[in-house]
Amino acid sequence: MTNPTGAWELPDELSMLRDTVRRFMRDVVTPLEDTLEHNATGPSSGQLHDLQRRAREIGLWALATPESFGGAGLSVLGQCVVAEEAAKCRMGAFFPALGAFGGNPPSVLFKGTPEQFERYGRPIVEGRAGRPFTAISEPSGGSDPARAIQCRATRHGDHYVISGTKLWTTHAGTAEWGILYARTGELGDRGAISCFVIDANGPGLTKRRIGVMSSYSLFELHFDGVEVPVENRIGDEGQGLRLATDYLVHSRIPYTAGPIGIAQMALDMTIEWCKTRETFGAPLAKRQGVQWMIADSAIELRAARLLMYQAAWNADLGKDVRTDASVCKLTGTETAFRIVDRCVQLFGALGMSQEMPLERWFRDLRVKRLGEGASEVMRTQIGQALLA
């Protein structure tokens, strides 16, 4: 396989996969989406189930899950290609994120025991269970979980007792279970956080929905003496953050592909608009100021996409991609937001209206600069790596 950042073309099998996703989005997702309200979080559970069945029939399933766990074992580069295409729709942030093409258990389960995988992971891979939540962030912060996590798991014989509060937990409204990171050691000690599978509806757990500037529903979770059996701990005691870090680093790369797909679609729409929209006696496309906005957007998008491909390529080679993933996530999400902002500007009031997807993309992309590591945290990581 040739390095796509050098050859400018994707390998044939990934081009074919991209075409499959493109057809699925055009023939299945777009017609459904046209029936939904602008601000609908996503399709209803019945519609989503039907979408997932159809995606599964053509092999768009469990793509990020290793073959040894029953998945497709798609490369990180392949995951980026799929996520980028899947984002090219009005619900662009929903599809790659929630996975209309589902079947991927939280990756920490690949590091658990075979029993844990059979009980919690296998039903997801086989399409019998929905998506769980992951609860790391707390009122005390999300960027620095080693210090911020105060939610405690205290061992009592064959079980732990969980007490504390988690914040901004996506999917907690629908999930049957979730992954929880809680403190089992001293405050401030990085090796003091452990990872658990917890029942989303058990006694002692209360949820409060929090509205945010995005198409997601987030929840506050309050744990008041929730009992979790010891066999639900993933990895050793104190190993939780290491498991989470491995997952977060790699997931930042395909996470970037959604924003890049959205920005591409916004730019394509804006180019067509500028050719026909006339002001002061000429189409916008004839104005140099507009041409430069389009040119800057295309250049920045091309660069961001190549940085993503490079990070994915290095991840697939098994290299340490902590810095690559930070560069990719920071550049991709910031670039996509800037481009959609320019597109809103060029569409005028129409760009801000809910008659068009730009307004929704703008809000959803704003979130991407915070989620999975804020831009400043990415910069800090890159700077520290360079200066070490």
Binding residues for ligand FAD (CB under 6 A)? 133-137, 141-143, 168-170, 212, 214, 216, 218, 367, 370-371, 374, 376-377, 380
Considering the complex, state which of residue 305 and residue 329 has its C-beta at the smaller distance from ligand FAD.
329
Minimum distance from CB of 157 to ligand FAD (Å)? 29
Minimum distance from CB of 182 to ligand FAD (Å)? 12
Minimum distance from CB of 319 to ligand FAD (Å)? 25
Considering the complex, state which of residue 117 and residue 133 has its C-beta at the smaller distance from ligand FAD.
133
Residue nearest to ligand FAD (CB): 142
Considering the complex, state which of residue 7 and residue 213 has its C-beta at the smaller distance from ligand FAD.
213
Considering the complex, state which of residue 75 and residue 251 has its C-beta at the smaller distance from ligand FAD.
251
Minimum distance from CB of 296 to ligand FAD (Å)? 25
Minimum distance from CB of 349 to ligand FAD (Å)? 27
Considering the complex, state which of residue 134 and residue 331 has its C-beta at the smaller distance from ligand FAD.
134
Minimum distance from CB of 252 to ligand FAD (Å)? 12
Q: 3-class secondary structure for the chain?
A: CCCHHHHCCCCHHHHHHHHHHHHHHHHHHHHHHCCCCCCCCCCCHHHHHHHHHHHHHCCCCCCCCCHHHCCCCCCHHHHHHHHHHHCCCCCCCHHHHHHCCCCCCCHHHHHCCHHHHHHHHHHHHCCCCCCCEEECCECCECCCHHHHCCCEEEEECCEEEEEEEEEEEECCCCCCEEEEEEECCCCCCHHHEEEEEEECCCCCEEEEEECCCCCCCEEEEEEEEEEEEHHHEECCCCCHHHHHHHHHHHHHHHHHHHHHHHHHHHHHHHHHHHHHCEECCEEHHHCHHHHHHHHHHHHHHHHHHHHHHHHHHHHHCCCCCHHHHHHHHHHHHHHHHHHHHHHHHHHCHHHHCCCCCHHHHHHHHHHHCCCCCCHHHHHHHHHHHHHC
Considering the complex, state which of residue 175 and residue 308 has its C-beta at the smaller distance from ligand FAD.
175
Minimum distance from CB of 297 to ligand FAD (Å)? 24
Considering the complex, state which of residue 84 and residue 138 has its C-beta at the smaller distance from ligand FAD.
138
